[in-house]
Amino acid sequence: MSKSLPMSEGVFTDIESLRSLLDAVPHPIFIKDDQTRWVVVNEMMCQLMNRGYDDLVGQFDEAFFPREQIDVFRSNDLHVLATGEINENEELFSDGDGRLRTIVTRKKRVLLTNGVRLLVGCITDISDFRCAEALIRHHADHDALTGLANRRSFRNRIEEHSARANRSSSGFAILLVDLDDFKPVNDIYGHAAGDSVLCEVSRRLEKVVRKGDTVARLGGDEFAIAAETKRSPATEASRLASRVIAAIRKPIMVGEVSIEVGASIGIAKSSVDGNTAEGLLHAADLAMYRGKHEGRGTYRFFSPEMDIEVREQIALETEFRKAVAGGEIQPYYQPLISLVDNQLLGFEILARWHHSERGLIPPDMFIPLAEKLGLISGLSLSLLRRAGEDAKTWPDHLRLSLNISPFQLSDPTLPIALIGVLNEVGFPPGRLEVEITESALVSDLSSAKAILTSFQNLGIRVALDDFGTGYSSLHHLRELRFDTIKIDRSFVQSIRTNPESEMIVNAILGLARNLGISATAEGIENTDVLQHMTDGGAKVGQGYYFGKATPASDVPSVIQRIRGKQSHGNTG
């Protein structure tokens, strides 16, 4: 059957030479890497597939060939390629300076190239493929990247599971698995790395399911499992979900980098949550959506009220997009007061959404939405622009404080964008402070540091917001030279009733003093608390005692009132 390989020199310097070597083999051959993607295919393979070389390289083999139709390592020709006349572990091909080395071991018949495991497959009997139809069908039913069932065939598989369940009085569960934090993988490491992660995730999913269960890739970073359940569907499905989460959470090595993703899972149970493939997938989708909202890396079972909530959420998102585009999100202003001389120092900009039916919507409701929808940066800039306009009529020593969401701190263009807005409205950078929370520093301290430093270089002050609630790390305070620490209102408010709060507030005030950072006490609602904060050395105060956040139209009267209070002495 075979024509022996041209092993003249046994040397090739790159993939191209290997390719031309394989072109001489009269059988379709592919070499795949450990991600089971084709690295090299020969001329015969291209002919068989009726596709160009560049089209095929990079593809996942099983997108085309069911495993049973590939005679991996068994062809005579391949045997020559794989073992030749040489001894185990002997080098077959190598370049002069060892850049690309191919080793073949007799036992494992694995080619090693530059330390990458390459598997060699050879299609020995083309007559197996006489049914090109089967090939095409396979392609249509499988995801080209991972080789898993695709959405279309998954639906069919659900119907099959359903029929089987009816016959055997067993049941099945649909697990919708959505990766957490996958998008940054593509953004940071590129699409090839993203693809490798998806392939590895599919392999892990296939490992954790039982025989007979179906794993599919529905698209993007969304996977699904149809798993048979017997006596206790809920328990069995939760166990599987926990196994999936644990399997995906383990770091994935792509080349030299270790990448971590997680998974959120929604579960729907057959016959309870739906009878059709569509219904079950929808239910699992809603449950997954809920899981994402309540904290990632978990699983949720579908319950009927999710349907209503999600519809509302989607409606809210649509309205919110419109509101942002239509400038319906307005800046409100809450006074910041000097505790040294009771003077008005400026205002914190707090976003408010005036909704025609729902009324005034607080930022805790829509800021997360803005973050999720990628609208937060635009929103911040538009709030700052409007605040800068509003401030034109105020006394020109007054400062503005702008809240910056952690998401924005991964954008190195942020400082320039803010300066651009300030220039546009003629508001000096020295009168602006940005407020960030500590959570923004945790994921990537060095890039946060770079951005915060450029703020300060541009003359913008930087405040650490809500201090005491999150990590409260001394390291962060040392690493970044904050101009202000804002003590979270929860401690300030309970200072008289909770001894622990008192200790924390005193500790933060001490820390600020030692580091030479100004401390702002948030949430001052009465004179008692005010007195305590003043005695403790807080330099700036904020809270309902001085005034709530108000629209621009009320600011002049707020300025008047505070002036009045100041001249009458601060008695509340």
Give contact residues for Ca ion (rule: CB under 5 A).
403, 435, 465-466, 522
Q: Is 383 in the site for ligand C2E (CB under 6 A)?
A: yes
The residue among 41 and 441 lying less far from ligand C2E, judged by its C-beta, is: 441
Residue 484 C-beta: closest distance to ligand C2E, Å:
12
φ and ψ of 474, to 5 deg: -65, -35
Q: Is 544 in the site for ligand C2E (CB under 6 A)?
A: yes
Residue 455 C-beta: closest distance to ligand C2E, Å:
15
Q: How many CB atoms neighbour CB 560 within 10 A?
A: 10
Residue 499 C-beta: closest distance to ligand C2E, Å:
21
Picked from Ca ion, ligand C2E, none, the partner binding residue 405 (CB below 5 to 8 A depending on kind) is ligand C2E
Q: Is 465 in the site for ligand C2E (CB under 6 A)?
A: yes
Cα→Cα distances 119→41, 112, 144, 351, Å: 12, 9, 19, 58
Question: Which two tokens mark 186?
Answer: 């593509």
Residue 451 C-beta: closest distance to ligand C2E, Å:
15
Residue 544 C-beta: closest distance to ligand C2E, Å:
4
Q: Is 390 in the site for ligand C2E (CB under 6 A)?
A: no
Q: Is the dihedral of CA 204, 210, 211, 215 positive or negative?
A: negative
Q: Is 403 in the site for ligand C2E (CB under 6 A)?
A: yes
The Cα–Cα gap between 149 and 157 comes to: 9
Residue appearing with tokens 């039982």: 210
Picked from ligand C2E, Ca ion, none, the partner binding residue 171 (CB below 5 to 8 A depending on kind) is none
Position with the least CB separation from ligand C2E: 543
Give the number of residues in contact with ligand C2E, rule: CB under 6 A.
25
Q: Is 351 in the site for ligand C2E (CB under 6 A)?
A: yes
The residue among 221 and 466 lying less far from Ca ion, judged by its C-beta, is: 466
Q: How many CB atoms neighbour CB 361 within 10 A?
A: 20
Q: Which amino acid is at 519?
A: A
Among 6, 26, 219, 362, binds ligand C2E (CB under 6 A): 362
Q: How many CB atoms neighbour CB 109 within 10 A?
A: 17
508-532 burial: b if 16+ Cβ within 10 Å, else e: bbebbeeeebbbbbbbbeeeebbeb
Question: Which two tokens mark 468?
Answer: 């005491």
**Of 360, 348, 401, 353, whose CA–CA distance to 379 is shortest?**
353
Taking CB under 6 A as the criterion, which residues in 418-437 touch ligand C2E?
435
The Cα–Cα gap between 521 and 523 comes to: 7
- What's the distance, CA 451 to chain centroid? 21
Cα→Cα distances 392→334, 365, 422, 431, 563, Å: 17, 30, 12, 12, 19
Picked from Ca ion, ligand C2E, none, the partner binding residue 438 (CB below 5 to 8 A depending on kind) is none
Q: Is 363 in the site for ligand C2E (CB under 6 A)?
A: yes
Q: Which stretch binds ligand C2E (CB under 6 A): 81-89, 94-102, 301-309, 398-406?
A: 398-406
Q: Which amino acid is at 484?
A: T
468 torsion bin: left (phi>0), alpha (psi -120 to 50), beta (else): left
Residue 394 C-beta: closest distance to ligand C2E, Å:
19
Question: In the chain, what is the straight-line distance between the N-terminal and C-terminal CA atoms, in Å?
Answer: 100
Q: Is 364 in the site for ligand C2E (CB under 6 A)?
A: yes
Residue 489 C-beta: closest distance to ligand C2E, Å:
6
Q: How many CA atoms lie within 13 A of 133 on its CB side?
A: 1
Residue appearing with tokens 């698995």: 177
Question: Could you tell me where the beta strands, DSSP code E, fall in 74-160?
Answer: 91-94, 101-104, 111-113, 116-122
Picked from Ca ion, ligand C2E, none, the partner binding residue 543 (CB below 5 to 8 A depending on kind) is ligand C2E
Q: Is 549 in the site for ligand C2E (CB under 6 A)?
A: yes
The Cα–Cα gap between 539 and 533 comes to: 9
Among 206, 222, 525, 554, binds ligand C2E (CB under 6 A): 525
The residue among 61 and 435 lying less far from Ca ion, judged by its C-beta, is: 435
Q: Is 334 in the site for ligand C2E (CB under 6 A)?
A: yes
Residue 205 C-beta: closest distance to Ca ion, Å:
42
Picked from ligand C2E, Ca ion, none, the partner binding residue 350 (CB below 5 to 8 A depending on kind) is ligand C2E
Picked from Ca ion, ligand C2E, none, the partner binding residue 544 (CB below 5 to 8 A depending on kind) is ligand C2E
DSSP string, 493-524: HTTTT-HHHHHHHHHHHHHHHHHT-EEEE---
Residue 320 C-beta: closest distance to Ca ion, Å:
21
Q: Which stretch binds ligand C2E (CB under 6 A): 97-105, 132-140, 290-298, 345-353?
A: 345-353
The footprint of ligand C2E (CB under 6 A) covers 334, 349-351, 362-364, 367, 380, 383, 403-405, 435, 465-466, 489, 522-525, 542-544, 549
